[in-house]
């Protein structure tokens, strides 16, 4: 398992490399879960990645930027739907997994607000529905739009489909009442005469969860099977698939439900507390969860958590935890947000569900960077309503029972073919192996011998990363690089992926097909595909099985539409090791144009050692760029084959200059240090305020510091600022500038 907290022994260079690797992996899983409804890892594995990512940010705050994965939520909207911009972002919740985590949550809130232990702090507790988040916008009481979460800032327009859900009122107040149907036409005076029941803000975005009940899910799958349709793995996937239909008649035929529990933009708040807001939703005509309760202590929260867990099997719908929220909206405002989550709320997850099965075999998958990843083939088993048949074993040390940091996993029990294993899952995703049942180990089971050569046709040696800068020593990689067919295919898949070139109709299966047909062997071949099609009857795409006249024309159109691409996407699409989205964006913003970036690469990989060292120093000075990234750039662009392939690709494209970040506030982009005692707000509030305004908050003063805000008792940091000539201001001066 990933150690989420052990970061103190890392150097900055090692942390940067791991941070970039984690960011890329998190982005991939966000896209699979939110964008494609096809998750590949368990909630527990995903949460561990997020915790480790956050721990690295806390230990090395200089890694964090406005494009870090901690600033992102969900995945990009489907191209099938129009997009709706959320005026108030739809953010995710942080997670709690133990009683201690809940105590810490309460203590953090009190500390942030400066509240003593004896002061009253009201917290609501409600079931966490396992469904699809949706935001409903009402203007003058009328439903005008509905959007999915999407990436948190922009979602899919599913208005027409949502209007088919019976539990979503088209007009606020009781939808069965004639008066309610007309309430949006009444004058404000008439509304006030009717009392609070019809007191509706001019604009209100009501948010909640679209879900499917267990009995409805079973009935849907029975009907799907009878009609030869898709069988859904679980209620959440069924709900997501039903909502995201281009034909709203299909959505209307599906038994979807909606619980309201939150809000986005509101022109005038109808209440001053969380629980009163939810009660207002109920009066508007929404279903709200009857298990929501107001608590005052951590013990009350835990008691209600276990009470809900006991009722979980009888609720008739899926939940995966309990959500706690500060009740007072004024305190919520003060607490604000940290990264992708509100400080005033947290999700207390239920323990993962478990089952036993048998390891039938272990296959090796070769990734884009040559990493050999073992995949266990399992005897199919149902875990929490989902049939699973394979699970990643991560690396050869994991199979042996050794963690990445050398810690002992499963009390040292290794995993062998034939073993009976305990698997667990949380939510609706593929599980992980958590233990091996030695008493059921068959006599023929022998320790697994991890391959020393790549399983590709070249059979090139596979070596471990031990001793290399920024590398995970547990990973064994094929040394064939781009000569290895498996790596070349994975590079091409990465090139056309959603966050790279995102070529519609050219997915993983199509890449494999065209590779086998020897039509696409490098990225530039994609943009020459139509020319080859026109030049020879032997390779006419429309003559291949699965391709007709229309699909071929659409494919060529999709390829042509990507001949113009932004610099940051282009750099990311090349698939250079350690260069994920965040690093690609950093490089793009630093150099602005492809010509400028190419110039630094030529210096970096040239024969002039002085120019090379100068280029390394220039790159190393950039935020988030260290030895691991620079070495990877050297290795990739230092190979003549790669340089030639990139030049052939560039000749096919128009690479747009990078879009520089907006400077909307006086402190956007500046580095701020707070020191001494702040009297008008807590240190956490000051930091949160600065970050909301686009500033970067540092814990130490350096030449890169722009402003030091000094309160009473400021010591060494104030002296350092004076020595370096950094601008110093008081708390009052700071507030006057930013408020």
Spatial separation of the C-alpha atoms in residues 320 and 351, rounded to whole Å? 9
Which residues make Cβ contacts (< 8 Å) with residue 621, sequence separation at least 6?
A: none
Is there a catalytic annotation at residue 128? yes
Place of tokens 């989420």: 4
Distance CA 694, CA 674 (A): 15
Given the residues 21, 128, 670, 717, select the one marked as catalytic: 128
User: Could you tell me which residues are beta bridge partners of residue 733?
Assistant: none
Which pair of tokens denotes residue 206?
A: 């009501």
Within 8 A by CB and 6+ apart from 669, the residues are: 661, 663, 694, 695, 696
Strand, helix or coil at 520? coil
Give the whole-angstrom CA distance, residue 601 versus residue 603: 5
> Rounded to whole angstroms, how far apart are CA atoms 707 and 726?
6
Enter the tokens of residue 302.
């835990």
Of the candidates 56, 64, 77, the one whose C-alpha atom is nearest the C-alpha of residue 498 is 77
Which runs of E-coded beta strand occur in 416-556?
420-425, 432-436, 462-464, 476-478
CB count within 10 Å of CB 146 equals 26
The C-alpha atoms of residue 23 and residue 42 are separated, in whole angstroms, by: 17
For residues 190 and 172, give the distance between their C-alpha atoms in angstroms, rounded to a whole number: 15
The DSSP line for 374-438 is: EEEEEEEEEETTEEEEEEE--SHHHHHTB-TTS-BSGGG----TT-EEEEEESSSS--EEEEE-G
In contact, 453 and 460? CB cutoff 8 Å:
yes
Alpha-carbon distance 149 to 35, whole Å?
10
Can you state the angle between helices 627-637 and 12-30, rounded to 10 degrees?
70
CA–CA distances in Å: residue 35 to residues 14, 149, 177, 499, 631: 31, 10, 38, 12, 33
Identify the burial level of 122 via C-beta atoms within 10 angstroms of its C-beta, where 0-12 means exposed, 13-18 middle and 19 or more buried.
Answer: middle
- How many Å apart are CA 12 and CA 470, to the nearest integer? 10
β-bridge mates for residue 364, sequence order: 374
**Number of residues that make up the chain:** 739
Rounded Cα distance, 523 and 580, in Å: 18
DSSP secondary structure letter of residue 479: T
Measured CA angle at 311 (ends 307, 316), to 5 deg: 150
Cα dist. 709→668, 712, 733 in Å? 16, 10, 9
Ramachandran quadrant class, 65 (left: phi over 0; alpha: psi -120 to 50; beta: rest): beta
Query: What is the token pair recorded at 431?
Result: 């599980």
Catalytic residues: 128
């Amino acid at each position: 398992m990933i150690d989420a907290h052990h970061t103190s022994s890392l150097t900055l260079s090692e942390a940067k490399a791991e941070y970039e690797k984690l960011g890329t992996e998190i982005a991939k899983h966000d896209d699979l879960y939110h964008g494609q409804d096809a998750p590949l890892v368990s909630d527990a594995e995903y949460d561990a990645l997020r915790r480790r990512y956050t721990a690295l940010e806390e230990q090395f705050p200089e890694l964090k930027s406005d494009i870090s994965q901690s600033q992102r939520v969900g995945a990009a909207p489907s191209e099938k739907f129009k997009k709706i911009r959320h005026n108030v972002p739809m953010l995710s919740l942080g997670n709690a997994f133990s009683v201690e985590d809940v105590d810490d949550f309460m203590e953090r809130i009190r500390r942030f607000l400066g509240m003593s232990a004896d002061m009253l702090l009201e917290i609501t507790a409600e079931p966490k529905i396992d469904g699809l988040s949706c935001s409903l916008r009402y203007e003058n009481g009328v439903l005008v739009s509905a959007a999915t979460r999407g990436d948190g800032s922009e979602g899919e327009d599913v208005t027409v489909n949502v209007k088919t859900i019976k539990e979503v009122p088209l007009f606020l107040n009781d939808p069965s009442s004639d008066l309610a149907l007309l309430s949006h036409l009444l004058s404000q005076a008439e509304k006030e005469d009717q009392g609070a029941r019809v007191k509706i803000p001019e604009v209100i975005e009501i948010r909640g969860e679209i879900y499917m009940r267990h009995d409805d899910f079973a009935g849907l799958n029975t009907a799907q099977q009878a009609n030869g349709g898709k069988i859904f793995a679980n209620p959440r996937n069924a709900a997501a698939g039903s909502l995201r239909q281009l034909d709203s008649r299909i959505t209307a035929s599906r038994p979807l439900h909606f619980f309201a529990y939150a809000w986005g933009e509101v022109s005038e708040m109808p209440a001053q507390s969380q629980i009163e807001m939810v009660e207002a939703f109920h009066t508007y005509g929404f279903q709200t969860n009857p298990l929501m309760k107001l608590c005052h202590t951590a013990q009350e929260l835990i008691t209600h958590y276990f009470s809900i867990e006991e009722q979980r099997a009888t609720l008739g719908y899926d939940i995966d935890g309990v959500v706690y929220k500060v009740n007072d909206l004024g305190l919520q405002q003060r607490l604000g947000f940290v990264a992708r989550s509100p400080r005033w709320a947290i999700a207390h997850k239920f323990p993962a569900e478990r089952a036993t099965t048998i390891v039938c075999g272990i296959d090796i998958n070769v990734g884009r960077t040559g990493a050999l990843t073992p995949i266990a083939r399992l005897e199919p088993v149902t875990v929490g309503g989902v049939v699973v048949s394979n699970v990643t074993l991560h690396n050869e040390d994991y199979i042996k029972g050794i963690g990445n940091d050398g810690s002992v996993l499963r009390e040292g029990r290794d995993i062998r073919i034939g073993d009976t294993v305990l698997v667990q899952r949380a939510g609706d995703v593929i599980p992980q192996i958590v233990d091996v049942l030695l008493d059921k180990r068959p006599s023929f089971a022998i320790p697994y011998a991890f391959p020393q050569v790549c399983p590709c046709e070249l059979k090139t040696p596979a070596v471990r990363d031990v001793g290399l800068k920024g590398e995970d020593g547990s990973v064994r990689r094929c040394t064939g690089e781009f000569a290895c067919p498996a790596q070349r295919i994975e590079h091409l898949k990465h090139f056309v992926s959603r966050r790279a070139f995102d070529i519609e109709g050219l997915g993983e299966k199509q890449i494999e097909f065209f590779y086998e047909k020897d039509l696409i062997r490098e990225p530039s071949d994609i943009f020459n595909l139509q020319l080859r099609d026109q030049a020879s009857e032997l390779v006419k795409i429309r003559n291949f099985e699965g391709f007709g006249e229309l699909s071929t024309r659409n494919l060529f159109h999709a390829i042509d539409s990507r001949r113009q691409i932004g610099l940051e996407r282009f750099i990311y699409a090349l698939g250079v090791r350690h260069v994920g989205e965040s690093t690609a964006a950093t490089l793009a913003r630093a150099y602005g144009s492809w010509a400028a970036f190419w110039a630094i690469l030529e210096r970096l990989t040239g024969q002039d050692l002085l120019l090379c060292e100068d280029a390394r120093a220039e790159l190393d000075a950039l935020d988030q760029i260290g030895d691991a990234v620079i070495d990877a750039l050297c290795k990739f662009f230092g190979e003549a084959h790669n340089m030639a392939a990139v030049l052939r690709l560039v000749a096919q494209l128009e690479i747009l200059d990078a879009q520089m970040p907006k400077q909307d506030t006086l402190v956007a982009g500046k580095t701020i240090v707070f020191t001494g005692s702040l009297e008008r707000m807590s240190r956490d509030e000051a930091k949160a305020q600065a970050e909301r305004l686009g500033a970067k908050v540092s814990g130490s003063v350096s030449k890169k510091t722009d402003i030091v805000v000094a309160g009473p008792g400021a010591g060494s940091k104030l002296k350092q600022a004076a020595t370096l000539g950094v601008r110093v201001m008081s708390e009052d001066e700071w507030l006057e500038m930013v408020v």
